[in-house]
Structure 1
Amino acid sequence: MSKSKIRNDKTCLNCRYVVENRFCPNCGQENTDTRKTFHHLFIHFFEDLTHYENAFWRTIKNLLFKPSALTKEYLSGKRLSYLAPVRLYIFISFITFLLIAIFPSEINSPEKNLEKESTITTKNKSFQNTISQNDSLKKSQTASKEDGELIKFGYDSVEQLDSIQKNAPKSEKMSDFNYWINKKIQIVKEKNTQSEIIEKFISSFTHNLPKVLFVFMPIFAFFLWLFHNKKRWYYFDHGIFTLHYFSFLLLIFLVLFLINKGLSPFAELSLVSFIQIISNFIGIGWMIYYFFPAHHRFYGETRFISFIKSSLLFFINFILIIIIVSLFAIYTFINLH
Structure 2
Amino acid sequence: MAKKRRKFVQCPNCGYTFEEVNNYCPNCGQENHDLNVPVKHLVEEFFESTLHYDTKFWLTFKYLLTRPGYLTEKFNLGKRVSYVPPFRLYVFVSIFFFTAVALFASDGLVISDAQSAKNQLETTNPEAVAQILQADSLARVKAGLPANDTSSFIAGDTSSVIINEEVDNKFRNFLKNEEQSRQKLLKNISFMMFVLMPFFGFILYLFYRSQRRNYVEHLMFSVHFHTFVFLLIMFAILVEVIFSNIDTNGWVFLISMVYLFFALRYVYKESYLRTAVKLIPIGLTYLISLAILFIATVGISVLFS
Q: Are the counterparts in 2 of residues 72 and 298 from structure 1 also a CA contact under 8 Å?
A: yes
Alignment of 1:235 onto 2:204: no
1:8-19 to structure 2, matched below 5 A, reads: 11=11, 13=13, 16-18=16-18
Residue 284 (structure 1) shift: 3.8
Which amino acid letter does the alignment assign opposite residue 68 of structure 1? G
Counterpart of 2:279 in structure 1 is 310
Residue 253 (structure 1) shift: 3.1
Residue 215 (structure 1) shift: 0.7
Distance in 2 of aligned mates of 1:286 and 1:106: 22
Which amino acid letter does the alignment assign opposite residue 67 of structure 1? P
Q: Helix, strand or coil: the match of 2:276?
A: helix
Q: Helix, strand or coil: the match of 1:273?
A: coil
| TM-score (normalizing by structure 1) | 0.60
Counterpart of 1:89 in structure 2 is 90
Q: Are the counterparts in 1 of residues 94 and 230 from structure 2 also a CA contact under 8 Å?
A: yes
Counterpart of 2:117 in structure 1 is none
Distance in 1 of aligned mates of 2:263 and 2:162: 49
Q: Are the counterparts in 1 of residues 86 and 220 from structure 2 also a CA contact under 8 Å?
A: yes
Counterpart of 1:253 in structure 2 is 233
**How many residues are treated as equivalent by the alignment?**
258
Alignment of 1:208 onto 2:208: no
Q: Are the counterparts in 2 of residues 63 and 69 from structure 1 also a CA contact under 8 Å?
A: yes
Counterpart of 2:165 in structure 1 is 182
Which amino acid letter does the alignment assign opposite residue 273 of structure 2? F
Counterpart of 1:273 in structure 2 is 244
Counterpart of 1:319 in structure 2 is 288
Counterpart of 1:290 in structure 2 is 259
Q: Mind listing any 5+ residue stretches in structure 1 that lack a counterpart?
A: 35-39, 108-135, 149-167, 264-270
Q: Are the counterparts in 2 of residues 73 and 79 from structure 1 also a CA contact under 8 Å?
A: yes
Cα gap change, 1:61/1:280 in structure 2, threshold over 3 Å: closer, same or farther? farther
Distance in 2 of aligned mates of 1:23 and 1:308: 51
Alignment of 1:333 onto 2:302: yes
Q: Helix, strand or coil: the match of 2:243?
A: helix
Q: Are the counterparts in 2 of residues 22 and 31 from structure 1 also a CA contact under 8 Å?
A: no
Q: Are the counterparts in 2 of residues 256 and 283 from structure 1 also a CA contact under 8 Å?
A: yes
Residue 302 (structure 1) shift: 0.9
Residue 74 (structure 1) shift: 1.6
Which amino acid letter does the alignment assign opposite residue 161 of structure 2? N
Distance in 2 of aligned mates of 1:9 and 1:141: 89
Which amino acid letter does the alignment assign opposite residue 244 of structure 2? S
Distance in 2 of aligned mates of 1:310 and 1:215: 21
Cα gap change, 1:90/1:179 in structure 2, threshold over 3 Å: closer, same or farther? same
Distance in 2 of aligned mates of 1:93 and 1:305: 32
Residue 314 (structure 1) shift: 0.9
1:1-337 to structure 2, matched below 5 A, reads: 11=11, 13=13, 16-18=16-18, 23-24=23-24, 29=31, 31=33, 52-97=53-98, 103=103, 137-138=126-127, 172=154, 175-186=158-169, 188-189=171-172, 192=175, 204-257=184-237, 260=240, 263=241, 272-274=243-245, 277=246, 279-336=248-305
Q: Mind listing any 5+ residue stretches in structure 2 that lack a counterpart?
A: 37-41, 108-124, 137-149
Distance in 1 of aligned mates of 2:101 and 2:34: 35
Q: Are the counterparts in 2 of residues 68 and 297 from structure 1 also a CA contact under 8 Å?
A: yes
Distance in 1 of aligned mates of 2:174 and 2:84: 46
Counterpart of 1:267 in structure 2 is none
Which amino acid letter does the alignment assign opposite residue 61 of structure 2? I
